[in-house]
Amino acid sequence: MSERLYFRQLLSGRDFAVGDPVATQMVNFAYLIGDRETREAVVVDPAYAVGDLLDVLAADDMRLVGVLATHHHPDHVGGSMMGFELPGLAELLAQQPVPVHVNRDEAEWVRRVTNLSETDLTGHDHDDVLEVGAISIRMLHTPGHTPGSQCFLVDNRLVAGDTLFLEGCGRTDFPGGDADAMYRSLQQLAGLQGDPVVYPGHQYSTDASAPLSSVRQNNVVYRPRSLEEWRRLFAG
């Protein structure tokens, strides 16, 4: 299905939300994933200038059919952050009423942050698969940064949200964070077959993506060889 896959990585402050100081500072990635033949697509983590993301889809002759949320933090789904009100899911759904796909353990968190209704959200379990046209997107529950953080595996690409960056991983000291769960989630991702390319939720490194094998070799979060060692190095 590689020839049918539509996949775009968009950086806030550069590819959308240009001139927005918060978007520029936070360097979030949003992703567009779809089927080039059916012209259906989903957006991952729409925030800031959601109209810009819809404009990119329209320019590419793609039709939005859903949203995938990696987790509930406002820089990924909109809401209040650092004294700012960030546009996100609520503003997107006002223009394009589509399902928002979340992990079941994250649904209530997303609802509180965005003020969406329960009927706007579609809850998923680990290893659920969402079909977008003929493109299959596998949902991986990766708690640690938040209780219902999830990553998406599509055509040997891993959209990792704030679970795994090319350098480091998501913080575990925010409400709902769990350092032990993060260790287990990182180990789960390390065991994925096929050496998928990691596409993170933020550009916290020079490169915007890298093979998982490279991330495992170079990322400090993969140095601990046990949960006890992880706790000593990262959970204190």
The domain in which residue 210 lies consists of: 5-234
CATH code for position 120:
3.60.15.10
Q: Tell me how far apart the alpha carbons of residues 45 and 162 are, in angstroms, rounded to a whole number.
A: 11
What is the structure's pLDDT at 113? 94
**What length does the chain have?**
236
Torsion angles phi and psi, residue 139, rounded to 5: -100, 125
Instruction: Kindly report, residue by residue over 168-178, the tens digit of the pLDDT.
Output: 999 999 999 99
Residues 41-52: b if buried by 16+ CB within 10 A, e if exposed: bbbbbbbbbbeb
What is the structure's pLDDT at 84? 74
What is the structure's pLDDT at 1? 60
What is the structure's pLDDT at 212? 98
Q: Tell me how far apart the alpha carbons of residues 185 and 31 are, in angstroms, rounded to a whole number.
A: 21
- All residue ranges of the chain with pLDDT < 50 are none
- The residue whose two tokens read 């810009």 is 52
Instruction: Kindly report, residue by residue over 142-184, the tens digit of the pLDDT.
Output: 999 999 999 999 999 999 999 999 999 999 999 999 999 999 9
What is the structure's pLDDT at 234? 84
What is the structure's pLDDT at 85? 86
Number of domains in the chain: 1
What is the structure's pLDDT at 210? 98
Residue 159 tokens, joined: 């959209």
